[in-house]
Every structure is written in structure tokens, then in C-alpha cells.
Amino acid sequence: MKKESFYSLHAEMCKTLSNPRRQAILDTIRSDEMTVSELIENTGISQANLSQHLAILRSKGVVKTRRDGNNIYYSLSNTKIIKAYDLISEVLEDSTNSRGKAIREGIGK
């Protein structure tokens, strides 16, 4: 695969994960599968909006589904997705802490 193609696929995955509501969905199903009703309850996202985001996540292969009777359960397709999410969260936390420290040190001068 040419690097250019890989970069395009990488960018598409990053775009998929860049939406705050989709991040909330991923964070909510990080360790357990959930139905749409459970996701609505846990995220506060409306059913119509949640369905749109779940469709995007499914089409990009980020989440998978399992049917049990009338219920459809959503879960992560690959646990590495949440590891990437957590790693970015750690980078943000480090960055925020560094900026806060720099601001505090600047005020003390």
C-alpha cells in the first residue's frame, strides 16, 4: 500500500473519531456492549442523533453489532481503538498540565 493511500485511510479514521458525540459513544462502550436505549441513557444523545453516529461508526468498522431478539448490542470492533482514545487523552492531560504550569510560573514572576 502506498504511503499516500495509508495516510488517506488514517485521516478518515481520525475524522471518524474526531466528533465529540462519537467519542462519548466510544467511551461509554469501552468495556461493555450496550443497546441503543442504554447508550441514550448513558450519553444523553437523542435517538435520532445517536443512530446517525452509530451508522458512521459501523460503516467505518469502529463498532460492531450483535442481535439478541429485538435488541441490537453495540461494542468496539477492536480494543485498540479505546487504547488510542486513552493515549490521546493522556497527551491532552499532559499538555494541559504543562500549559497550566507555564501560566502559573508566568504569574509568579
Q: Cβ neighbours of residue 61 under 8 Å, at least 6 residues apart?
A: 77
Helix (H, G, I), strand (E, B) or coil at 91: helix
Summarize the confidence of residues 79-96 as an average pLDDT: 91
- pTM (two decimals): 0.83
Q: How many CB atoms lie within 10 A of CB 76?
A: 20
Helix (H, G, I), strand (E, B) or coil at 64: strand
Instruction: Assess contact for 73 and 65: CB atoms under 8 A.
Output: yes
Instruction: Assess contact for 74 and 36: CB atoms under 8 A.
Output: yes
pLDDT, tens only, 100-109: 666 656 665 4
pLDDT, tens only, 16-71: 999 999 999 999 999 999 999 999 999 999 999 999 999 999 999 999 999 999 99
